Chain A
Amino acid sequence: MRSASGLGWHLIRGWALLVYVFMFLPVAVVVLLSFNASQFGSFPMTGLSFRWFVELAENEAILRAFETSIVLGLLTSIISTTLGVLASLALVRYRVPGANAISTLLIAPILVPEVVLAVALLLFLNFLGIHKSFALLLFGHVIFTLPFVILVVQARLVGIKREVEEAALSLGANPVQTFFQITLPLMLPAVLAGALFAFTISFDDITGTLFWKPGGVETIPTQIFAMLRNSISPEINALGTVMIVMTVGLPLLGVAVARRLAQRSGG
């Protein structure tokens, strides 16, 4: 009995391990190969080298894509976070008529498949006679990342007692001062988390970006996609490694910062 259940657990553990290996092995391989000295982006490893990172840094197209991605990510993050915070405040703190409907509408982009959202937005703008542009791309990314910001910020805001803000008001702080002195510091961890979410999602996004980007503009993901069509260059491995560092490292950093803040503010 006991050994049978023990065996069962071993099997489950083994299976879980396999799943993780299956998921992370390709990632590990990419990272490993990005340091490969060979000029083919595949095994065997012929030596350890940073040459592909150097080539990456000298590749005009990639640098441009990198810049685009960073700028797009930052702008998306700033706009999404600002709008998300305002929307959360309105939904949680003020009794807006139809708050539930608005809330659903704002969260909807998470539920709709990205392709559908991408095509819909494109068709809509075509209908309005608006051409593709960087602004449109940014608009798309904002719509797409906004729900994440709202979900995170709203959850936090619900936990901040209204009395704390009322106390600040009663002591002479006007509503704006109360927001910056009390509400914002208390929800800062959530705001930072939302901003990071927005940045990484924008930085990673390819589906919507392919539909919305104007000709000649590439982000890192679309650049990789384009490069893959020609050949599998080891540069792509190096680029992949950079992407992994950014999209995994940033949130980790963010979580650490948020923890520190939360500790200091006493939760």
Chain B
Amino acid sequence: MSSVVLKNIVKRFGSYTAVHPSDLEIQEGDFVTLLGPSGCGKTTTLRMIAGLLDPSEGEILIGGKRVNDVPIHKRNLGIVFQNYALFPHKTVADNVAFGLKYRNVSKDEIARRVEEALNLVQLPHVGGRYPKELSGGQQQRIALARAIVIEPDVLLLDEPLSALDANLREDMRVELKRIQHQIGVTTVFVTHDQSEALAMSDRIVVMSGGRIEQVGTPEEVYNRPRSEFVANFLGASNILDGVCRERGAETATLEVPLFGTVPVPQDKAAGISDGPAKLVLRAEKLTLMDARADITGMIAADATVETVDYQGQTVRYFVRAGDRSFQAINMINERPFPEGSAVKIAFRSQDCAALPG
């Protein structure tokens, strides 16, 4: 059953449309991420689900019921904000207990569930403290405990990790995913960080300019982007203008400059027909090789290394082939190719995707 459904939802602020007509279905228990650059309408969408904003048009269903006219305090949702939004004048325990007070839960039961929630976020001994006595990461855990202790139908998180520093963010990412898995609550997570989205989500909703660009599993949106925007937003891609010569049962054959004919697997060439088409070459799938290397089974072109951006285990190259520049991110075995060296850039046809031109 779908836990959250958005039907043709629109949000306008005055004459400005922040969210264009959008449809979305979120399955029970899924961890769904709204991913997109700042200002693309993620928060607006989340706040409409929460009941903090009224949609200008369309319907919102939660658990199969229309909730457009249900005020936020009757929606039974858990919300975690970027800036934690803990109640500064209440102790941690009172913060976590807050939602239970409005739910006909006995005193003993409240105490038990608060303790349980604090255990779940691995902060069992801070109940008596005030929020300001905790670190940022701890405060965010308490905010999470406060949101899940009420056993919400949906958990909504708006960039909950972006106020934390890098190391803590990675820990919290794992932690959050563990907790979500453990309690199995349907979760809508908002972020502009593609690696966060790829690491945590069951499904990713890629948004741009108030529109949903693509919905799919991390593997799908990463390997089978449906638009140039998605291809570029999730990691770096090289996009070549070409022509689709033949649409076969297994492959779509594209012809692109430099590389010639490329047979793109069917499942990565959805919506392609004969005529103009684009070839998506992920930077991670484009390998630099010695100019004299054996390239059987690969499609290659001659190139010159322009810039080398050394990143430890990996290296990011900017190379020139023909009249354009390509980006390639490779693992380093020995030494990276020096700037100015003549190389081959090569890829396997099954690693490409095609987009309508």
Q: Which of A's residues lie within 8 Å of B, judged by CB?
A: 161, 163-164, 166-175, 177-178, 181-182, 185-186, 264-267
Report A-chain residues with C-beta under 8 Å of the C-beta of B337. Answer: none
B216 to chain A, nearest CB (A): 29
Distance A265 CA – B87 CA, assembled complex (angstroms): 9
Contact with A265, one of B88, B102, B143, B147 (Cβ below 8 angstroms): B88
Distance A16 CA – B28 CA, assembled complex (angstroms): 73
Contact: A166 with B89, CB < 8 Å?
no
Contact: B132 with A267, CB < 8 Å?
yes
Contact: A163 with B89, CB < 8 Å?
no
Report A-chain residues with C-beta under 8 Å of the C-beta of B81. Answer: 163, 166-167
- Residues A167 and B79 in contact in the complex (CB < 8 Å), given A177-B102, A266-B131: yes
Is B78 an interface residue, CB under 8 A from the partner? yes
Contact: B85 with A166, CB < 8 Å?
yes
Is B83 an interface residue, CB under 8 A from the partner? yes
Contact with A170, one of B72, B83, B131 (Cβ below 8 angstroms): B72
Contact: A170 with B77, CB < 8 Å?
yes
Contact: A169 with B87, CB < 8 Å?
no
Q: Which of B's residues lie within 8 Å of A, judged by CB?
A: 50, 52, 71-79, 81, 83, 85-89, 98-99, 102-103, 130-132, 143, 146-147, 150
Report B-chain residues with C-beta under 8 Å of the C-beta of A171. Answer: 73, 98-99, 102, 146-147, 150
Distance A169 CA – B89 CA, assembled complex (angstroms): 16
Distance A187 CA – B43 CA, assembled complex (angstroms): 28
Distance A15 CA – B98 CA, assembled complex (angstroms): 57
Contact: A166 with B52, CB < 8 Å?
yes
Distance A146 CA – B79 CA, assembled complex (angstroms): 37
- Residues A166 and B130 in contact in the complex (CB < 8 Å), given A171-B98, A172-B73: no
Report B-chain residues with C-beta under 8 Å of the C-beta of A163. Answer: 81, 83, 85
Contact: A172 with B76, CB < 8 Å?
yes
Distance A185 CA – B130 CA, assembled complex (angstroms): 15
Contact: A164 with B98, CB < 8 Å?
no
Taking A167-B85, A167-B143, A265-B89 as known contacts, 16 extra A-B pairs with beta carbons closer than 8 A to each other, sorted by chain A number, are A161-B83, A163-B81, A163-B85, A164-B85, A166-B50, A166-B52, A166-B81, A167-B86, A170-B50, A170-B73, A170-B78, A171-B98, A171-B147, A173-B98, A178-B73, A266-B88
Contact: A166 with B73, CB < 8 Å?
no
Distance A185 CA – B102 CA, assembled complex (angstroms): 18
Contact: B87 with A172, CB < 8 Å?
no
Report B-chain residues with C-beta under 8 Å of the C-beta of A267. Answer: 88, 132
Distance A170 CA – B77 CA, assembled complex (angstroms): 6
Distance A215 CA – B52 CA, assembled complex (angstroms): 55
Distance A164 CA – B83 CA, assembled complex (angstroms): 9
Distance A168 CA – B81 CA, assembled complex (angstroms): 12
Distance A70 CA – B99 CA, assembled complex (angstroms): 42
- Residues A164 and B87 in contact in the complex (CB < 8 Å), given A169-B73, A171-B146: yes
Residue of A nearest to B72 (CB): A169
A191 to chain B, nearest CB (A): 14
Residue of B nearest to A172 (CB): B102
Q: What 4 A-B pairs have minimum CB-CB distances, sorted nearest first?
A: A171-B99, A265-B89, A172-B102, A163-B85
Contact: A186 with B72, CB < 8 Å?
no
Contact: B89 with A266, CB < 8 Å?
yes
Contact: A168 with B87, CB < 8 Å?
yes
Report B-chain residues with C-beta under 8 Å of the C-beta of A166. Answer: 50, 52, 72, 79, 81, 85
Report B-chain residues with C-beta under 8 Å of the C-beta of A161. Answer: 83, 85
Report A-chain residues with C-beta under 8 Å of the C-beta of B83. Answer: 161, 163
Q: List 30 A-B contacts (CB under 8 A).
A: A163-B81, A164-B85, A164-B87, A166-B50, A167-B79, A167-B86, A167-B87, A167-B146, A168-B87, A169-B72, A170-B72, A170-B79, A170-B147, A171-B73, A171-B99, A171-B102, A171-B147, A172-B76, A172-B103, A173-B98, A173-B102, A174-B71, A175-B73, A177-B102, A178-B73, A181-B98, A265-B89, A266-B130, A266-B132, A267-B88
Distance A67 CA – B75 CA, assembled complex (angstroms): 52
Residue of B nearest to A163 (CB): B85
Distance A73 CA – B28 CA, assembled complex (angstroms): 60
- The residue in B74, B81, B89, B143 that gathers the most chain A C-beta atoms within 10 A of its C-beta is B89
Residue of B nearest to A188 (CB): B89
- The residue in A163, A171, A267 that gathers the most chain B C-beta atoms within 10 A of its C-beta is A171
Distance A181 CA – B150 CA, assembled complex (angstroms): 18
Contact: B89 with A185, CB < 8 Å?
yes
Residue of B nearest to A261 (CB): B89
Residue of B nearest to A185 (CB): B89
Report A-chain residues with C-beta under 8 Å of the C-beta of B131. Answer: 266
B146 to chain A, nearest CB (A): 7
Distance A9 CA – B191 CA, assembled complex (angstroms): 58
- Residues A264 and B89 in contact in the complex (CB < 8 Å), given A167-B79, A168-B98, A170-B79: yes
A167 to chain B, nearest CB (A): 4
Report B-chain residues with C-beta under 8 Å of the C-beta of A168. Answer: 87, 98
B218 to chain A, nearest CB (A): 28
Report A-chain residues with C-beta under 8 Å of the C-beta of B99. Answer: 171-172
Report B-chain residues with C-beta under 8 Å of the C-beta of A174. Answer: 71, 73
Report B-chain residues with C-beta under 8 Å of the C-beta of A181. Answer: 98
Report A-chain residues with C-beta under 8 Å of the C-beta of B75. Answer: 170
Distance A186 CA – B86 CA, assembled complex (angstroms): 12
Distance A85 CA – B351 CA, assembled complex (angstroms): 63
A45 to chain B, nearest CB (A): 51
Report A-chain residues with C-beta under 8 Å of the C-beta of B87. Answer: 164, 167-168, 182
Distance A175 CA – B52 CA, assembled complex (angstroms): 12
- The residue in A161, A170, A173, A181 that gathers the most chain B C-beta atoms within 10 A of its C-beta is A170
